[in-house]
Amino acid sequence: MSIKFLIVILIVMLGLILVSSALSSAPTDTDVSVPSTTMLANTCAGCHGVNGSSVGPSSPTIAGMSRDYFIETMEAYQSGERPSTIMTRIAKGYNKKEIELMAKYFSKQEFVRQPQKYDAKAAKLGKKLHKKYCVKCHEDGGRSADDDAGILGGQWQPFLRFTMEDFTTGKRPMKKKKQERVSKLFKEHGQEGVEALIQFYGSQK
């Protein structure tokens, strides 16, 4: 056996050991007072589903949203700027570092869509309205997370209904461009238009 060959074997074994310790058992953190990413993410599954994909009927899937949007969302709940039933009380339980760890984790999770009942006619209208009013920040039928906005495609319809109600009644603040588009949508198509959008998003598999 050549020396070169032995060196190759040693390097591969070292690689295996390093990879193995990274993959096996609980991850270790350098900061001893911060729970691990897994430990933190595990606490959310009770309402938001395994790996952040909710099985409904209304609590939202949080898998796949961008890191920045996750952080923005949790901070909005902490301050109370975004209305909620329970999330303000929960969000206040985590510090900046913990939220960053959760944000990184959930941004990497797959948004698993469950089939929902939908009105095909309304969904057809919703598709048109989406292209007219929403697509700029909710690309790819609302499935994209790239614009640091909420993932709408395949999200639970009751949750979308709650959020649209909060937007259109002024309870939840919107950035200026969004405010303009939502106002225009509501002015030109009313509640029927809002519901059509919800049917469109709920129709996606």
Partner 1 sequence: MTNISRRHFLAIAGTGLASTALGFPAISFGAGKNVVIVGGGIAGSTCAKYIRAMDGSVNVTLIEPKKTYVTCFMSNEVISGERDIKTTHFGYAGLRKHGIEVLHDMVISIDPVAKKIGTKDGIKLNYDACVVAPGIDFRWDAIEGYDAKVAETLPHAWQAGEQTLLLRNQIQAMRDGGTVIIVAPQNPFRCPPGPYERASQIAWYLKNNKPKSKIIILDPKPKFSKMPLFVAGWQRHYGYKSSNSLIEWVGGPDGGEVTRVDPKNMSAIATSSFKGDVINVIPPQIAGKIAHVADLVDEDNGYCPVNHASFESSRHKDIYVIGDATIAAPMPKSGYAANSQAKVCAAAVVAKLNGKSAPVPSFVNTCYSLITPNDGVSVAMVYRLGAKGKIEKVKGAGGVTPKDASDAMRKREATYAYSWFKNITHDIFS
3-state secondary structure of 116: coil
> In this chain, which of 7, 10, 38, 146 binds partner 1, going by CB under 8 A?
38
Q: Is 89 in the site for partner 1 (CB under 8 A)?
A: yes
Q: Is 79 in the site for partner 1 (CB under 8 A)?
A: no
97-116 residues in contact with partner 1 (CB under 8 A) are 98
Stretch that binds partner 1, among 65-73, 85-93, 103-111, 178-186 (CB under 8 A): 85-93
CB neighbour class for 12 (10 Å; exposed up to 12, middle 13-18, buried from 19): exposed
**Which string of x and - marks every residue 144-183 that binds partner 1 (by CB under 8 A)?**
--------------x---x---------------------
For residues 169 and 137, what is the distance between their CA atoms, to the nearest angstrom? 21
Instruction: Count CB neighbours of 16 within 10 A.
Output: 10
Q: How far is the CB of 11 from partner 1 (least distance, A)?
A: 10
> In this chain, which of 10, 14, 19, 180 binds partner 1, going by CB under 8 A?
19
Q: How far is the CB of 120 from partner 1 (least distance, A)?
A: 24
Residue 131 DSSP label: I
Q: How many amino acids of this chain bind partner 1 (CB under 8 A)?
A: 50
Number of H helices, E strands in the chain: 10, 0
Q: Which two tokens stand for residue 165?
A: 């109600």
> What torsion do the CA atoms of 112, 118, 124, 126 make, to the nearest 10 degrees?
-70
Q: How far is the CB of 19 from partner 1 (least distance, A)?
A: 6
For residues 26 and 11, what is the distance between their CA atoms, to the nearest angstrom? 25
> What torsion do the CA atoms of 96, 99, 101, 105 make, to the nearest 10 degrees?
-160
> In this chain, which of 67, 72, 75, 94 binds partner 1, going by CB under 8 A?
94
For residues 204 and 113, what is the distance between their CA atoms, to the nearest angstrom? 8
39-78 residues in contact with partner 1 (CB under 8 A) are 39-40, 42-50, 54-59
Q: Is 90 in the site for partner 1 (CB under 8 A)?
A: yes
Q: Which two tokens stand for residue 102?
A: 């959760």
Residues forming contacts to partner 1 in the complex (CB under 8 A) are 1, 5, 8, 12, 15-17, 19-21, 23-29, 32-36, 38-40, 42-50, 54-59, 85-86, 89-90, 92-94, 98, 158, 162
